[in-house]
Amino acid sequence: MSILVDATTRVICQGITGKAGTFHTDQCLLYGTQFVGGVTPGRGGTTWRGPQSGKELPVFNTVAEAVRQTGATASMVFVPPAGAADAIMEAADAGITLIVAITEGIPVLDMVRVKRFLTSKPQVRLIGPNCPGIITPGQCKIGIMPGYIHTPCAPGQAGVGVISRSGTLTYEAVFQLTRLGLPQSTCVGIGGDPVPGTTQVELLELFNNDPGTSAILLIGEIGGDAEERAAAYAAQHVRKPLAAFIAGQTAPPGRRMGHAGAIISGSSGGAASKIAALTQAGFEVAATPAEMGLAVQRALSRQR
């Protein structure tokens, strides 16, 4: 089992003919993801060919056309920042229900507008933007993470669900899990932007309800109060083993938000408050990034 994506997920790439879109669609195809088409306005009717995989996909001018022709339900967005919000709304409007936005550098007010647009489309889930994507090991990779570091669950086996605001730090965590022999159910990078499409709380809920997930690893960062909210949710609702790591205990200064930032969050958004909240909620919190895998192991053994 897994959350959000599996071997049956039919995926398109928006921005498939761009350099990054081509490369990563190809990588996903090599991993085994069921990509069924791509969208680049003005290139409709042409055929895209994966440089390494050699696989061919139809290109469409609009997501609506792509959905009609291919039955896709998920989209990987590689559209550059200036057009990315529009591309996400186009996907949502066209019936795509899982949108994975890899694009980095989308203006934050664009994402505010996207989120408000999506309130009228409750069936649509957005992952990202500015994220590595989502992977259910062995079944479906939609994103830029290196596939080989992940370990699929054996049939009937449950795995670790991973939720992260970071990219390479997630790979580090997954690599540690794989080394410790802990397979992963699904790994989701929610992205580091101020307004993410999907929050840690929402993913905690999905993983909590997924029988294929045996434990959850949450990788957070300083800033905002998302981790505090995740801790509060977990304390009340989650009964699975929980582990976490918070990056930024040595916070880089100089990225202050003036008075207003502190007023609004009601706390500093600092690592200490996050770690305290998570520990109190029952998370095994890793002391260093080298011990994320071990923290999961501790959480799992503590339960037994």
Partner 1 sequence: MKIHEYQAKELLAAAGAAIPQHIVVRSGAEAAAAFDVLSNGGGVVVKAQVYAGGRGAGQLLDYPDKLGGVKFCPTRELTQAVAEAMLRHRLRTRQTGPEGVPIRTLIVQADAQPDREYYLAMVLDRAAGLPLLMACAEGGMEIEEIAARHPEKILKTYVAPETGLLPFQARRLAYELGFTPAQVPQVENILHALARVFLQKDATLAEINPLALTRNGQIVVLDAKIDFDDNALFRHPDIAALRDVQEENPLEIRAAQAHLNYIQLDGTIGCLVNGAGLAMATMDIIKYYGGQPANFLDVGGSVTPEGAIEAFRIILSDAKVRGILVNVFGGIARCDLIAEALVQAGREVGFRVPVVVRLEGTNAEKARQILAEAANELPTLKTAADLAAAAQLVVELSR
> Which residues are the active-site residues?
259
Helical H runs in the chain?
A: 19-31, 63-70, 81-93, 108-118, 168-179, 200-209, 226-237, 258-265, 271-280, 292-303
Q: Which of 167, 183, 212, 241 binds partner 1 (CB under 8 A)?
A: 167
* Binding to partner 1, residues 198-217 (CB under 8 A): none
The residue whose two tokens read 């809920």 is 205
Distance CA 165, CA 24 (A): 20
Compute how many residues bind partner 1; rule: CB under 8 A.
Answer: 83
Residues 6 or more apart whose Cβ sits within 8 Å of residue 270: 222, 251
Kindly tell me which of 27 and 214 has the beta carbon lying closer to partner 1. Answer: 27
Q: Which of 5, 124, 142, 169 binds partner 1 (CB under 8 A)?
A: 169
* Binding to partner 1, residues 237-276 (CB under 8 A): 245, 247-266
Distance CA 251, CA 199 (A): 22
Among 48-56, 108-116, 206-214, 273-281, which window interacts with partner 1 (CB under 8 A)?
108-116
Among 49-57, 192-200, 210-218, 295-303, which window interacts with partner 1 (CB under 8 A)?
192-200
- Shortest distance in whole angstroms from residue 303 CB to partner 1: 26
* Binding to partner 1, residues 132-151 (CB under 8 A): 144-146, 148-149
Q: What's the chain's length in residues? A: 304
- Region for residue 15 given its phi and psi (left: phi exceeds 0; alpha: psi -120 to 50; beta: otherwise): left
Asked if 17 is part of the footprint of partner 1 (rule: CB under 8 A), the reply reads: no
Residues pairing with 115 in the sheet: none
- Shortest distance in whole angstroms from residue 155 CB to partner 1: 27
Among 35-43, 51-59, 150-158, 272-280, which window interacts with partner 1 (CB under 8 A)?
35-43
Asked if 296 is part of the footprint of partner 1 (rule: CB under 8 A), the reply reads: no
Residue 143 phi/psi, 5-degree rounding, is 155, -165
